Structure 1
């Protein structure tokens, strides 16, 4: 018996609490042992004080303190209708209640007053399911009145994500200045900067007499760096509201000086308020993504494919195809638009050197033609800087090496001739940074390596050269990362970083194989390389489908998978997109 006494059976009746509540509700309906009447208008509802006290801090304070209700048999609850009070008492005794749009607001108010927190949040959850762009701003006001944080957070989220629709609503025009400033200052606002500007203008025009003076404060919330120059200088700059504000015109003039003087005026020289505006981060709507376009596919044909890397599932998705097959075109990104420039047409019976320019915006996922170059080019280099695109050298109409340089002004949609290169080279590594274009190496017309760094001074339209024995590259890309220029491969495994200020090269981790005709770009402070051709120790050439990443902090290369096919002489760029339009195509 002593041994058996050690065992203990812990029994829990799972149905006791629900049955107890059921029995209490029956007693209430039969008016048995009830000791208080809750009154609303002409309605009297018999209840048990101990049940009310147990269910709510409000009733606990009422019946367990020195309030007069402690002695009363009837308690009048002002501000609550009889129907709502009946629903709440049923909820207290059963845990069940039906919430509809007709009663949710008075029910929520009563739940708040009587301190039924779970019922209050149930009403909030119901309202959250009704949220849409048309009512989210009204819901925010309601949540402030009700002091309901969960509803406010969800309504704010809808307003941020659907700002395109919300900005057209009448409710937005009713916002106060601090409220509107709060929206426009938020990084999570899903809107293009052009729309941000149009929204603040509409808000001012709703009540111009009292709101006109707010233009300068509101305009500082527009992130000018992400607005296309054409829209900024031709539309925004000429808006009467902007012209009426000295500060606004100064801000636009600061951008104009920065862009049109091609860097001779630095940000620090601008008005005091300009620097934080220009350096503001992009909103969540904007995100940079990797795009691959054109090139030679599987060594058998010139590719029309354009691919975008989807980081969410680590796969390549297809964009609209290039309108034409182009051999050794150049590829550059400017103002969230992909440019494919020149090349040798291979779609026709007779190949022709092209001066055509094709553009692709991820917003529309459609190709368009732009203003053609002054002269045809292929096997050339292109690079963007501020609102310019520079096309350098390559092979011209006669298929001979050219030193020609052209510049495209995206503001005026015009091409113009610039100072020619000091030495014409083919397949150099080219990059633009700090008001200069750097051209490393390449080969001359006789395929001899050129050990030169050619530097183009953008603002002065002048070239200079620096001999350097370290430079020996051909068909190698270059990128700017952490204020250094990285030259990646080029018939070698070597990658070197060039410090322009110190005029010094630093050796980095080698590539996994000798690589050429590959492409590289930068995203989130890391360097990415795709495709190309590898050269074995026995000089056997193999096309690649590799996709690799280099982290300068660790000096380590890692594989990111592969391209859908082997590819070389292609474009690989970082492009800013606003929405994933291609997924709907």
Structure 2
């Protein structure tokens, strides 16, 4: 008998991966699979346990008192075989390649079969790939497949970029009902009020034979009364679609005689400044001493009018080293340090100034405390970069639609004195090397890969 020996704990790191790879190989041998899925005339041998782990649908099917729970063959009706094959490969490997050609089929099938991981990644892919050429289709797709985070972002994109969207082929393919819904949105932001009228005219011209009848109804949604009288007069005199429609002519003529409301406020680019203050000697937030009243610390500068305009003060004013970024016409402030001159600490706090409501409100805290970091907006999400205490450029991302933060891969190289910017769907980080301070390093992050 073996005596006087200590316990020895053994763990094979590759065991889990090896088991999955082995089960994937067993799928080619029907004798080693315990169920065969049938879809679109194709057969897919697989294992109940693997399916149940990855899909709520299959978990309910195989663990409940259904005939399928013991059946050797299960037919899946109205399920795309190609998308099913990709879902099964993901279940065994944890890998999937999503692209423009398969994302809709994958999203549809993963919703049918309740693969939450694939639903989430497809949703994220659609949100990251959104632009003026596809946001309308993505919006309808998100609504029809129960993806509110997708449709919400598409709506926000449309509200901010209506003029660019209205120039795309996708806009011309809209139904009358869908176009009316978009035009009725009072949150549409346009540089020129006439843009709504021009968009409607382009849509009608695309198929005048069947669409001219809808012109009066759609023109009523374009705020004609806010347009200059000269523009309305030109519509009556030179636009054939208006001249050929008695109802449209009457609508435009009536708008010319109505009392003019105040000119709508146009969107303009401005410079936003959020300032803090440094604690004076003897002030210590930790000891709870009374703070002196803050000065105005939030304003914007209009380069056209060359004027400064004060906004509601940033409430967390006794802080420095925070980062500022704008998204969807709202202002976000993240991180920063607080405390006394001799005892400071970074914070995870984040704030949003909602332009529509004109108030500051706290949002979800970051995962890591940060000071002297940088922020950038990419694909409708906020990236905060660096500013932690470790020797790495840590990065996390905020999704305003889910109101949550998640960590992403850190920068490949450590840099200091850095700046970040997004361009053409990618995030770029430029900064000096930690060792060679005269050398600049440019790094690129692609959220899709």
TM-score (norm 2): 0.49
Q: Compare the two structures and name the one with the higher helix fraction.
A: 2
Q: Quick one: higher RCO (CA 8 Å, sep 6+), 1 or 2?
A: 1
